Chains A and B, each alone.
Chain A
Amino acid sequence: MAVKGVSLSVKQGQIITLIGANGSGKSTLLESVCGLLPDWKGEITFQGTPLKGLDPPAVVRQGISLVPEGRLVFAPISVLDNLKLGAYTMYRKRRHAEVSQTLEKILDLFPILRQRAKQPAGTLSGGEQQMLAIGRALMSHPKLLLLDEPSMGLAPLIVEKIFHTLEMLRNDGITILLVEQNAQAALQIADFGYVFETGNVVLQGPATELLADQEVKRAYLGKDYGEFYDDNR
């Protein structure tokens, strides 16, 4: 069992981050939220609706979108069609006009995707694919955006750009649950954070407090014991 006895809440209009090392159960938690993991005990509610037993498409229809680990863009399909597939549930609700509006908005948000619209998604760089994955997730008009390790394998400059975009999205009213190993970057944009360790929440608090926390600094912010003791003096 990867996650046990965890309770957390995500407030509307905030960026909440889950940080922790590999295998601490962060991704498992996300998978349970978006219906990829069928068997779990407990309770997950979204705006008062229990999510138990819903499959991923049903969760998407509830207004929750996942940007998966490893991005999982449809490599042979064009960038534009990748985005349109993100709006599958919207098209099925016959909201075509809204879809074209959202599409324009996303292409404005990530101008590089507009340039590459006709290219197969597999030909994009890692950072561009991450942008595409986020754009695709936004196409379904989510109220809550889940991101699983969006910074993985990306250059610091790109990470900064992507995280800046997340802040913009939050300011637009989208709630964001960000799972990250890159604690530094995540805590800088987050409002509230949870620290995971072997399937448990070991620490929680406002992001600014976590950033200043000695224990977090030691374990997750890349400061070794030397610096840690220096800080104390």
Chain B
Amino acid sequence: MQEILQYLFSGITNGAIYAVIAIGFSMLYNSTELINFAHGEFVMLGALCMVTFFGALHLPLVVALVASIVCIAATGLVFERLAIRPVRHPEPIVLIIITVGASIFLRGIGMIIWGKDAHTIPSFSAHPPLDIAGAKLLSQSIWIIIILLATIIGLQLFYKKTLTGKAMEANAISKRAAWIVGIPSKMMIMLAFGLSTAIGGLAGVIIAPVTMSSYDMGTMLGLKGFCAAMLGGLGSLWGALLGGFLLGILEALGVGFVSSGLKDATAFLLLLFILYVKPGGIISAASAKRF
């Protein structure tokens, strides 16, 4: 019992992280129908920015968090402006290959700035782990879940309550219709990039204390987040959430009860399974409400 609970806790923690990454994928896909394979690198940059701001410079937590996210969002905007927008024939395959290239580029940048060593930073708060029925729940896990919830609530409010959010949704539904009512679609796309990469950065920020952060951590995290997004249904917020937790928990149980070698395989087995059985994901985009 205690064992299962412990696996579940670690599964939920990882699941929450995958969910945050998946939300970034889904959001951008929703607005631009583009899958950003460099998304994982923004997670990596977020974690490493946190290493610098929180770990090395000892800035206050909130300042370090905001600074990291702002840096990542700015990087995302520059990425959109320099690598995506100038493409003359923006066909999906061209754009996807550009994001793959960007991913390699960003990894290189990460290596040049932070070196090849792995870094670690202290937890956001120094509370001892909670003891629930003999299983331990790290304080950082609670932070991660709180931040995930805050992200979801924030996004919901943004899309439902603000004009810019609605305009972004409108632009995602029909670019042409949005354009003729006067919504500047280029700006909406840029904003989607900014937001999506900011959320990616946020994912990096919250995992920095529970993982070893290094320049090459992004690829696997990006792929896991992508799996989670596909699993739940690409383009759906709740799908991202569901996919994230499902992946995290199954992964943890697989590691616990079968073999630790199965950890990374779980994601891809699940992805294959869902592609065979229900290619649109559990909450498939057609039936799911967009953000």
Question: B-contacting residues of A (Cβ < 8 Å)?
Answer: 34, 36, 55-57, 60-61, 65-66, 68, 72-77, 81, 84-86, 88-89, 91, 136-137, 139-140
List 13 additional A-B contacts (Cβ < 8 Å) besides A88-B183, A136-B181, A139-B181: A36-B176, A56-B179, A56-B180, A60-B180, A60-B182, A65-B181, A68-B176, A74-B174, A76-B290, A84-B163, A85-B167, A88-B182, A140-B181
| 20 residue pairs from A and B, CB less than 8 Å apart | A34-B180, A36-B176, A36-B179, A56-B180, A56-B182, A57-B184, A60-B180, A60-B181, A68-B180, A72-B174, A72-B176, A72-B177, A74-B170, A74-B173, A74-B174, A74-B178, A75-B173, A76-B169, A84-B166, A85-B166
B278: chain A residues within 8 A (beta carbon): none
Give residues of chain B (160-197) contacting chain A, Cβ–Cβ below 8 Å.
Answer: 163, 166-167, 169-170, 173-174, 176-184
B177 lies within 8 A of A73 (CB): yes
Select A68's contact among B169, B170, B177, beta carbons within 8 Å: B177
Does B58 sit at the interface, judged by CB under 8 A?
no
Q: Contact at B176–A85, with CB atoms within 8 Å?
A: no
Most buried by A among B166, B174, B177: B177
Query: B177 near A36 (CB under 8 angstroms)?
Result: no
- Given A81-B166, A85-B167, A88-B163, does the pair A76, B180 have CB atoms closer than 8 Å? no
Nearest-CB residue, chain A, relative to B176: A72
B85 beta carbon closer than 8 Å to chain A = no
Tell me if A85 and B170 are in contact (CB < 8 A): yes
Distance between Cα atoms of A232 and B177 in the complex (Å) = 47
Task: Compute how far the CA of A152 lies from the CA of B181 in the bound complex, rounded to whole angstroms.
Answer: 21
Whether, in the assembled complex, B116 has its beta carbon less than 8 Å from a beta carbon of chain A, the answer is no
Give the distance to chain B from A161, nearest Cβ to Cβ, in Å: 23
Cβ–Cβ < 8 Å partners of B181 in chain A: 60, 65, 85-86, 88, 136-137, 139-140
A139→B181 CA distance, assembly (Å): 9
Contacts of A88 in B (CB 8 A): 163, 167, 181-183
Size of interface on B: residues with Cβ below 8 Å to A? 18
Q: Tell me whether B289 is interfacial, beta carbon within 8 Å.
A: yes
Smallest Cβ-Cβ distance to A136: which chain B residue: B181
B residues engaging A (CB < 8 A)?
163, 166-167, 169-170, 173-174, 176-184, 289-290
> Do A76 and B173 form a contact, CB below 8 Å, given A81-B166, A85-B166?
yes
Complex Cα gap A68–B178 (Å): 11
Assess whether B289 is in contact with A89, with CB atoms less than 8 Å apart.
no
The residues of B that contact A91 with a CB separation of less than 8 Å are: 163
Bound: A84/B165 CA distance, A:
12
A84-B166, A88-B163 are known contacts. Are A77 and B173 too (CB-CB below 8 A)? yes
| Cβ distance A204 to chain B, nearest Cβ, rounded Å | 27
B174→A76 contact, CB < 8 A = no
The distance in angstroms between the C-alpha atoms of A72 and B177, with both chains bound, is 6
A91 to B166, CA, bound (A): 13
Quick one: given A56-B182, A72-B176, A88-B182, are A77 and B170 in contact (CB under 8 Å)? Answer: yes
Q: How far is the CA of A134 from the CA of B169 in the complex (A)?
A: 20
Nearest-neighbour CB distance to chain B for A30, whole angstroms, equals 10
With a CB–CB cut-off of 8 A, which chain A residues contact B176?
A: 36, 68, 72
Shortest Cβ gap from A47 to chain B (Å): 18
Contact B166 A36 (CB under 8 A): no
| Chain B residues closer than 8 Å to A77, beta-carbon distance | 166, 169-170, 173
Complex: A89 Cα to B178 Cα, angstroms: 11
Which residues from chain A contact B180 at a C-beta distance below 8 Å?
34, 36, 56, 60, 65-66, 68, 72
Q: How far is the CA of A105 from the CA of B163 in the complex (A)?
A: 21
The complex places the Cα of A89 from the Cα of B182 at a distance, in Å, of 6
How far, in angstroms, from A75 to B172 measured CA to CA in the complex?
12
Q: Which residues of B contact A34 (CB under 8 A)?
A: 180
Chain B residues with CB below 8 A from A136, complex form: 181
